[in-house]
Amino acid sequence: MRIHVRGDNLAVTDALKDYAVRKVGRLEKYFEAPADQDVYVTLSVLRGQHKVEVTMTLGGIVFRAEEKSGDMYSSLDLVVDKLVSQIERHKTKINRRFRQEGIRTLLKESVSESASDLRGDAPPEKEETGEVVRVKRFPVKPMQVEEAILQMDLLGHDFFVFANAETDQVNVVYRRKDGHYGLIEPEF
């Protein structure tokens, strides 16, 4: 893994960077071959709270977590614990679905299942003028509907845009209020 540590309006000391690289580097043991992947660690301080955000994309699966505490080192410990819990929680679910489809998974079998949750990004705030205030660009990977639902759950979002591998069209899966999922397919 290539771990990129940066400070958001914060000077990152060598000791803090080394600690972050060491802690986040321990996540490598949960994956079979993540050596070529990038992991982004962002450190910031806001109103006395030390915030750490970690985003890692491994084989098309995005793991993301953030934590705040009164100490940057504690925040790093908490965010790594949250990522481990997220990986463990989704391990069985991902492996079961991938095995059914005959796709090799990135997660090792030794990881146990956990019940912890991960909260994702809050939706962008709207201005009253109705203007676009944020634009996100991301690669659209062809995948099955089930894989898109897993990806949405991993991110903690209520919807996910993806290229449907069966129809070669852009689709959206979303979480309904009743707990089930919906699929939006374009009709031309």
- pTM score of the predicted model: 0.54
Question: What sign results for the dihedral spanned by CA atoms 18, 20, 22, 28?
Answer: negative
Of 111, 103, 84, 108, nearest to 25 by C-alpha is 84
Residue 13 reports pLDDT greater than 70: yes
> DSSP code of 26?
G
* Statement: 142-184 belongs to CATH 3.40.50.150: no
Mean pLDDT of 100-112: 46
CA trace torsion 153, 156, 159, 164 (10° rounding) = -40
Over residues 94-107, mean pLDDT: 56
Kindly give the residue spans of alpha helices, DSSP state H, lying in 7-71: 14-25
Top pLDDT among 59 and 173 is at: 173
Residue with the larger pLDDT of the pair 53 and 115: 53
- Buried b / exposed e over 23-52, threshold 16 CB at 10 Å, is bbeebbebbeebeebebbbbbbeeeeebbb
Q: Which of 71, 59, 64 is nearest to 24 (CA)?
A: 64
Under the banding of pLDDT at 50, 70 and 90, the label for residue 28 is: confident
Q: CATH 3.30.160.100 occupies which residues in the chain?
A: 2-101
> What is the tens place of the pLDDT at every residue in 43-64?
999 888 899 999 987 666 788 8
- pLDDT, residue 122, reads 42
Has residue 142 got a pLDDT over 70? yes
According to the model, what pLDDT value does residue 134 have?
81
pLDDT at 34 over 60: no
Does the pLDDT value for residue 120 go beyond 50? no
User: Left (φ > 0), alpha (ψ -120 to 50) or beta: where does 18 sit?
Assistant: alpha
Span(s) in the chain for CATH 3.30.505.50: 142-184
Tell whether domain 2-101 is in CATH 3.30.2320.80: no
User: pLDDT band at 183, cuts 50/70/90?
Assistant: very high
The percentage of the chain sitting over the pLDDT mark of 70, rounded to a whole number, equals 74
In this predicted structure, what is the pLDDT of residue 179? 82
